[in-house]
Amino acid sequence: MVKNEYQLEYLPSFNKELEEIMYYITYILENPKASKRLLKNIRKNIFDRLKNRENYEKYKINQNSQYIWYRIYIKNYTIFYTVKNNKMQIAHIFYKKRNLKNLL
């Protein structure tokens, strides 16, 4: 039996959004400890999800969307990813109270 190996890819959009969130928490809210905790939690949840990336709720934006989106909820944030071939592509992280339909 061949074991499927899945890759993890962080898209530039995710990296930029995460950097902005970390900056805001660290420097604007002046809470670097909370920023580090959130980052640790994000990493853990992403790696946990990698094992069963498609066994979760699908988030359908609209009928014409070419991608199937999946969500990971972490505190006040939602991470969106897609699965293409053997890659789990982490695409976005948004504050949970934002209007998501306009962002994806």
All domains of the chain, ordered by start, with CATH?
7-102 (3.30.2310.20)
pLDDT of 38: 97
**Spatial separation of the C-alpha atoms in residues 77 and 98, rounded to whole Å:** 10
Angle at 5 between CA 43 and CA 78, to 5 degrees: 30
pTM reported for the whole predicted model: 0.84
What pLDDT shows up at residue 67?
77
Q: What is the mean pLDDT of each run of 10 residues along the chain (104 residues)?
A: 71 97 97 97 94 80 75 92 90 82 63
Q: How many CB atoms lie within 10 A of CB 36?
A: 13
- What are the tokens at 50? 């990698």
At 2 the pLDDT is: 43
pLDDT at 11: 97
Instruction: Supply the pLDDT for residue 1.
Output: 39
Between CA 1 and CA 3 the distance in angstroms is 6
Maximum separation of any 2 CA atoms in the chain, in Å: 51
Strands 87-95 and 7-10, bridge-based pairing: parallel
Amino acid at 42: I
What 8-state DSSP symbol labels residue 64?
T
